[in-house]
Amino acid sequence: MAIAKTLTREANLRPPEIRFRIWRPGPVLLLVPALAAIAAVSIYPVILGLWLSLRDTTLASPEDTFVGLANYQRILSDSQFWNAWAHTMEFTTASTLLETLIGLVIALILTERFLGRGIVRAAMLVPWAIPTVVTSKMFGWLFDGQNGVVNYLLRSFGLIQHHVNWYGSPDTALWTIVIADVWKTTPFMALLLLAGLQTIPHSLSEAALIDGAGPWQRFWCVRLPLLAPTLLIAAMFRALDAFRIFDLVYVLTGGGPADSTEVLSTMTYKNLFSALQFGYGSALSTVMFVTEILIALGFGIFLLQKFKEIGQ
Amino acid sequence: MHKTAYPHRKAHQSFTPESALDQDLRRDKEDIRANQKPPDGIHRRDFIKRTGLALAGVTAASTLLPSIRRGMAAGANPTEITFASAKFFGKETIAEVVQAYNSSQDKVRVTYKELPPPSSSTEVHQALVQQLARRNGDPDVFTQDVIWIAEFAAAKWALPLDEYFKAGTMKEYFPGVVDACTWQGKLTALPWFVDSGMLYYRKDLLEGLGAKAPETWDQLIDSAKKLTSSDKAKFGFLWQAKQAEVLVCDLVSFIGSNDGSILKSDGKTVSIADDAAIEAVQLMHDFIKKYQISPEDVLSWDEEPSRRPFTAGQAAFLRNWSYVWKVAQNPAESEVVDKVGVVPLPHFPGKKSAACLGGYQYGVNASTKNREAAVEFVRWMSSPETQLRFATQLGLCPTRAAVLDQPQIAQEQPFMQQLKGVFIGAIPRPVTPKYPQVTLVLQSEISRALTTGDVKGALQTAKEKIQAIVKA
Amino acid sequence: MSATPIYQQKPAQGLTFPPFNRVVIYACALFIACWSVGPFLWQMATSLQLDKQLVSGSPTLLPNPLTLDHFINIFVAKSFHRYLLNSVIVAGTTTFLCLLFGAIAAFALARLDIRGRFGILGFVLAVSMFPQIAMRYCQKLCMRSGRILLK
């Protein structure tokens, strides 16, 4: 305690110019392992990807010439790209919205005390614990057009007349994937929102109760505004992850009947690893990267505004 | 001159008197620093010294050990080569066959590298391409799917084998397979095994109808409709239309049965928008939508999901590979044991039956440093005895006509002998080094044609895209 | 209005709800549990079924006859335990390393005065946004060239 006090005092005793002019070796050394790991695994591949996107490298032939922005021009005029981009945006929006809403409801229910709350909390985490590939195969079997249990249950309850061809039909295939993703990732959102809800002081809701607020008003005017930063951060992470969805789509439909579930990641994968077009594939990944940064910036600006509001 | 009361301050710093509290705190800190003992009795410097020595020792050992091992191995002289193959198994594994080769002679020692099974053919392709692209001679021998032969040959990763296997030797194999192993006149692959699509049908249901196995598509549609309308079968004709490689296999069978083609033999003329092809794809669409003998689910089915209803006794006809026979005769998995017959796929009136050629073949790495040893190994693997072994132990159909006629095969795999006609008539998928891109276009457009019904438009788009790919 | 002043009353457990809302909460909790665990239970039931029963048209949660053939198949014929062990090793090692490096870095960024803290944090987040799939090939290239350097 005394040492900590002394260290801070010592830091404050130095004139301001010296404090910021020198990067003290201690703290920077603490950053080195993390930054080195990231540099080794991410930085060089990212730069290599950017560099490759300016060339027309293919693995199968020895040609490898600099083509400038030709790959990007090809992307802009490629109807398959825009098709995949539209599906990715649809999927990201639908999945993030649904998961945030359902996660919020689950978190609200789990903050209440009731018998068996611990069991429900544990059960809620089961979908998240199952690997994505296993989830894809599982939903493939659940939604099977002929023998799937979903069709069986829907028919037993009289909700549909004939079996629905869930992922063999271009109209329903993307929704099957959205449902599978919502099932798998809602626990993540619910957990984050639950943690956020529990940081809101109980006394605020009680004060509102005393003032005569009903349950909906307590939620909407008291808890939700305080939950907003957590909500936005969780939604941002979820949106960024949903944008990069790959294994769920690839294993379940492989791009789907008539390209109806083709997303940017599967298209990039097919171009990179099946068609071995490293130039074009790297340009696709760069475009994905830029779009994600834009999404993150959008959320970030919104978040900063929210923080300012709360600070006031 | 300030005395050393404040040694930590530099001369130019402004002087603010230090309060008594601060002085005490500073002196306490200095005392603690001076007396700090390292915990656990190990001094930091000693620890660093010991770890450094240990690391140095380990590095030295790891650099010396391989050379020691090489010195010991130098006593024995066999040439070491590596063999990378997709994973197959049956009563035996490929590793055991390779082991048999190693024990049968001592000039060549083969190390077997296992790749993923052929059901993950994209992963096998990737693994092979990444190894071959390095051009460092590893692996010396590999196995390549029939559709990659042109690609590997054009990229000069596969060694031309014409000087080791002359025309006389090659006559012992099925001509269709030898054609598939040749690229631009040079033999770049040695045949291993073949597989092709065929028509499975329910013998009992057709006998009940009084019909025989269909030879034309019209006969098949007729029988299927009769069986489904009288509720003897839930589905008429099952095949695979998932947007995956298997769709191109089915496509080749249908188009070939109308004497059409996707890419002409010069590798540059695209014929997928010709009338024969349009008629064939229209038939594929009509199976689902017009005649309704195939359920809509075939649009998302590949081999296994389409096989299951057939072996459960719910379908009358199935187009699939040769592995279904074994599954259909297994009582634990099939309800139709002894009720299944096999014939070549039907064709359009006046044309011939066409089956899509599949199967893996051997290739020798063009950059291999042990050419003679690699060729010797491949010659042994492709010999009649080894092909017989593969047939009886792993169920892989031989590519030598003579081997297929052997009595052992009649005993253990009688089904294979029935299929001689099917295998001889197998046709390959489009032969071009750009096949990986062509197949993606085909999968996408044909799936679109089958779901939207716009056959002409989809095939025209496919033609333009494929032309752009093969001309480049 | 109760007799005891409000500051002497015990704080409400959860918030006081009329009985109807308790029923709603229990119903929702039950639904959440079924929704989360249901597909997994179904998959377990499928793993205990014979193959040919899968297409029999009448799905049931308790298959009859039960069979352990599939489990025997994966553990005896396909050595699934080796893959499980690999997963445990990979998961354990990456968790440990991430926690180690991350905790140290987080402490440094949060508590110690480092110039350009938010820049470094933003940079780390940005790098994590590059599509994983695309990085695979580049990472393989790096590992290959690294191995050549070490030889």
B101-149 residue pLDDT tens? 999 888 889 999 888 887 778 788 888 888 888 888 889 999 999 999 9
Q: Does the beta-carbon distance from C113 to A114 stay under 8 Å? A: no
Q: Say if residues A182 and A98 touch (Cβ distance below 8 Å).
A: yes
Q: Pick the closest to residue A77 from A69, A87, A66 (CA basis).
A: A69
* Chain A interface, Cβ < 8 Å to B: 2-3, 5-6, 9, 15, 59-62, 80, 144-147, 165, 167-170, 173, 253-260, 270, 273-277
Q: CA B351, CA B13: separation in Å to the nearest integer? A: 101
Q: Look at residue B428 in the predicted model and tell me its pLDDT.
A: 87
Least CB–CB distance from A46: residue in C32, C40, C127? C127
Provide Rg for chain B, Cα atoms: 33
Average pLDDT, chain A: 85
Chain C residues with beta carbon closer than 8 angstroms to that of A105: 28
Q: CA B67, CA B73: separation in Å to the nearest integer? A: 10
Least CB–CB distance from C134: residue in A49, A105, A293? A49
Show the tokens assigned to B363: 């290739």
The residue of chain B nearest to residue A10, with distances taken between CA atoms, is: B26
Residue C21 within any structural domain of the chain:
yes
Q: Does the beta-carbon distance from A124 to C32 stay under 8 Å? A: yes
Q: Does the beta-carbon distance from A126 to C13 stay under 8 Å? A: no
Task: Give the single-character DSSP code of A56.
Answer: -
The residue of chain A nearest to residue C29, with distances taken between CA atoms, is: A120
Higher pLDDT, A307 or B202: B202
Q: Does the beta-carbon distance from B130 to C140 stay under 8 Å? A: yes
pLDDT digits (tens, 9 = 90+) for A201-245: 888 888 888 888 887 888 888 888 888 888 988 999 899 999 999
Chain C residues with beta carbon closer than 8 angstroms to that of A43: 127
Chain B residues with beta carbon closer than 8 angstroms to that of A146: 295, 297, 309
For residue A130, give Cα distances in angstroms to A192, A208, B398, C90.
18, 41, 42, 16
The C-alpha of C95 sits at a distance from chain B's nearest C-alpha, in angstroms, of 25
Q: Pick the closest to residue B109 from B73, B85, B71, B144 (CA basis).
A: B73
Q: Picking from A27-31, A111-115, B7-11, which range would have the lowest pLDDT averaged per residue?
A: B7-11
ipTM for the complex?
A: 0.79
Show the tokens assigned to A169: 């039909």
Q: Picking from B19-28, B293-302, B338-347, which range would have the lowest pLDDT averaged per residue?
A: B19-28
Domain that holds residue C23: 1-65
Q: CA B362, CA B404: separation in Å to the nearest integer? A: 19
Dihedrals φ, ψ of B186, to 5°? -110, 140
Chain A residues with beta carbon closer than 8 angstroms to that of B155: 59-62
Task: Look at residue B83 and tell me whether its pLDDT is greater than 80.
Answer: yes
Least CB–CB distance from B129: residue in A168, A255, A276? A276
Q: Look at residue B2 in the predicted model and tell me its pLDDT.
A: 46
Show the tokens assigned to A256: 């789907």
Q: Which residues of A14-42 are buried (b: 16+ CB within 10 A; e: fewer)?
A: eeeeeeeeeeeeebeebbeebbebbeeeb
Chain B residues with beta carbon closer than 8 angstroms to that of C140: 130
Helical axes A79-111 vs C19-47, angle rounded to 10°? 130
Strand partners, B80: B109
Residue B386 CB: number of other CB atoms within 10 A?
A: 18
Q: Pick the closest to residue B162 from B192, B197, B188 (CA basis).
A: B188
Task: Look at residue B200 and tell me whether its pLDDT is greater than 90.
Answer: yes
pLDDT digits (tens, 9 = 90+) for A74-120: 899 988 999 999 999 999 999 999 999 999 999 999 988 888 899 99
Q: Look at residue A64 in the predicted model and tell me its pLDDT.
A: 76
Q: Does the beta-carbon distance from C12 to A206 stay under 8 Å? A: yes
Q: What percent of chain C has pLDDT over 70?
A: 74
Show the tokens assigned to B325: 């026979």
Q: CA B427, CA B264: separation in Å to the nearest integer? A: 12
Residue C56 within any structural domain of the chain:
yes
Chain A residues with beta carbon closer than 8 angstroms to that of C11: 202, 206
Residue C140 within any structural domain of the chain:
no
Q: Which residues of B331-349 are buried (b: 16+ CB within 10 A; e: fewer)?
A: eebbebeebbebbbbbbbe
The number of distinct structural domains making up chain C is: 1
Q: Look at residue A30 in the predicted model and tell me its pLDDT.
A: 82
Q: CA A138, CA B77: separation in Å to the nearest integer? A: 52
Least CB–CB distance from C134: residue in A146, A187, A272? A272
Task: Look at residue B60 and tell me whether its pLDDT is greater than 80.
Answer: no
Q: Does the beta-carbon distance from B300 to A167 stay under 8 Å? A: yes
Q: Look at residue C129 in the predicted model and tell me its pLDDT.
A: 74
Q: Say if residues B243 and A253 touch (Cβ distance below 8 Å).
A: yes
In this complex, which chains have at least 3 CB pairs below 8 Å with chain B?
Answer: A, C
- pLDDT classification of A263: cutoffs 50, 70, 90: very high
Domain ranges of chain A: 73-311
Cis peptide before B349 (omega within 30 of 0): no
DSSP, collapsed to helix, strand or coil, labels residue A277 as strand
Residue A181 CB: number of other CB atoms within 10 A?
A: 26
Residue C80 within any structural domain of the chain:
no
Chain A residues with beta carbon closer than 8 angstroms to that of B22: 9
Q: Does the beta-carbon distance from A152 to C59 stay under 8 Å? A: yes
DSSP, collapsed to helix, strand or coil, labels residue A262 as coil
Interface test with B, best of C50, C52, C68, C137 (most B CBs within 10 A): C52
Show the tokens assigned to A226: 């305080």
Chain C residues with beta carbon closer than 8 angstroms to that of A292: 129
Least CB–CB distance from A113: residue in C13, C40, C42? C13
Q: Look at residue C6 in the predicted model and tell me its pLDDT.
A: 59
Q: Tell me the mean pLDDT in the region B55-67.
A: 51
Question: In this structure, are strands B186-187 and B355-358 parallel, antiparallel, or unpaired?
Answer: unpaired
Residue A71 CB: number of other CB atoms within 10 A?
A: 22
Q: Does the beta-carbon distance from B312 to C56 stay under 8 Å? A: yes
Q: Look at residue A99 in the predicted model and tell me its pLDDT.
A: 96
Q: Say if residues B418 and B199 touch (Cβ distance below 8 Å).
A: no
Q: Which domains does chain B have, with CATH numbers?
A: 79-192+359-427 (3.40.190.10), 197-356+434-471 (3.40.190.10)
Q: Does the beta-carbon distance from C55 to B314 stay under 8 Å? A: yes
Q: Say if residues B330 and B346 touch (Cβ distance below 8 Å).
A: no
pLDDT digits (tens, 9 = 90+) for C38-78: 999 989 988 888 877 777 767 777 777 888 888 888 888 77
Residue C141 within any structural domain of the chain:
no
The residue of chain B nearest to residue C145, with distances taken between CA atoms, is: B134
pLDDT digits (tens, 9 = 90+) for C85-109: 999 999 999 999 999 988 988 888 8
Question: Is residue B411 packed enough to be buried (19+ CB in 10 Å), middle (13-18) or exposed (0-12)?
Answer: exposed
Higher pLDDT, B90 or B356: B356
Q: CA B242, CA B248: separation in Å to the nearest integer? A: 10
Show the tokens assigned to A193: 């929102």
Q: Secondary structure of chain B in the HEC alphabet?
A: CCCCCCCCCCCCCCCCCCCHHHHHHHHHHHHHHHHCCCHHHCCHHHHHHHHHHHHHHHHHHHHHHHHHHHHHHCCCCCEEEEEEEECCECCCEHHHHHHHHHHHCCCEEEEEEEECCHHHHHHHHHHHHHHHHCCCCCCCEEEEEHHHHHHHHHCCCECCCCCCCCHHHHCCECHHHHHHCEECCEECCEECEEEECEEEEEHHHHHHHCCCCCCEHHHHHHHHHHHHHCCCCCEEEECCCCCCHHHHHHHHHHHHCCCCCCECCCCCCECCCCHHHHHHHHHHHHHHHCCCCCCHHHHHCCHHHHHHHHHCCCEEEEEECCHHHHHHCCCCCCCCCCCEEEECCCECCCCCCCEEEECEEEEEECCCCCHHHHHHHHHHHCCHHHHHHHHHHHCCEECEHHHHCCHHHHHHCHHHHHCHHHHHCEECCCCCCCHHHHHHHHHHHHHHHHHHCCHHHHHHHHHHHHHHHHHC
Q: Does the beta-carbon distance from C29 to A114 stay under 8 Å? A: yes
Which amino acid is it at A187? Answer: P
In this complex, which chains have at least 3 CB pairs below 8 Å with chain A?
Answer: B, C
Residue A137 makes CB contacts below 8 A (sequence gap 6+) with A251, A252
Q: Does the beta-carbon distance from A124 to C36 stay under 8 Å? A: yes
Least CB–CB distance from A255: residue in B243, B298, B450? B243
Q: Does the beta-carbon distance from B133 to A59 stay under 8 Å? A: yes
Residue C123 within any structural domain of the chain:
no
Q: Look at residue B49 in the predicted model and tell me its pLDDT.
A: 55
The C-alpha of A30 sits at a distance from chain C's nearest C-alpha, in angstroms, of 6
Q: What percent of chain B has pLDDT over 70?
A: 86
Task: Give the single-character DSSP code of A35.
Answer: H
Q: Does the beta-carbon distance from A41 to C124 stay under 8 Å? A: no
The residue of chain C nearest to residue A266, with distances taken between CA atoms, is: C133
Higher pLDDT, B46 or B348: B348
Residue B75 makes CB contacts below 8 A (sequence gap 6+) with none
Q: Look at residue C145 in the predicted model and tell me its pLDDT.
A: 63
Question: Is residue B9 packed enough to be buried (19+ CB in 10 Å), middle (13-18) or exposed (0-12)?
Answer: middle
Q: Which residues of A241-273 are buried (b: 16+ CB within 10 A; e: fewer)?
A: bbbbbbbbbbbbbbbbbbbbbbbbbbbbbbbbb
Cis peptide before B139 (omega within 30 of 0): yes
The C-alpha of B375 sits at a distance from chain C's nearest C-alpha, in angstroms, of 28
- pLDDT classification of C128: cutoffs 50, 70, 90: confident
For residue B116, give Cα distances in angstroms to B4, B129, B393, C81, C90.
75, 14, 20, 18, 20
CA contacts within 13 A on the Cβ side of B113: 15
Interface of A with C in 79-98 (CB under 8 A): none
Which amino acid is it at B219? Answer: Q
Q: Say if residues B421 and B446 touch (Cβ distance below 8 Å).
A: no
Question: In this structure, are strands B186-187 and B108-115 parallel, antiparallel, or unpaired?
Answer: unpaired
Q: Does the beta-carbon distance from A9 to B444 stay under 8 Å? A: no
Interface of B with C in 289-308 (CB under 8 A): 308
- Cα three-residue angle B454-B458-B459, rounded to 5 degrees: 120
Q: Say if residues A281 and C134 touch (Cβ distance below 8 Å).
A: yes
Q: Picking from B26-30, C88-92, C122-126, which range would have the lowest pLDDT averaged per residue?
A: B26-30
Superfamily of A73-311 according to CATH: MetI-like (1.10.3720.10)
pLDDT digits (tens, 9 = 90+) for B366-416: 988 888 899 999 999 999 999 998 888 888 888 888 888 888 888 877 778
- Count of residues for chain C? 151
Task: Look at residue B48 and tell me whether its pLDDT is greater than 80.
Answer: no
Q: Tell me the mean pLDDT in the region C2-20.
A: 55
DSSP, collapsed to helix, strand or coil, labels residue A58 as strand
Q: Does the beta-carbon distance from B126 to A144 stay under 8 Å? A: no
Residue C28 within any structural domain of the chain:
yes
Q: Pick the closest to residue A252 from A185, A187, A181 (CA basis).
A: A181
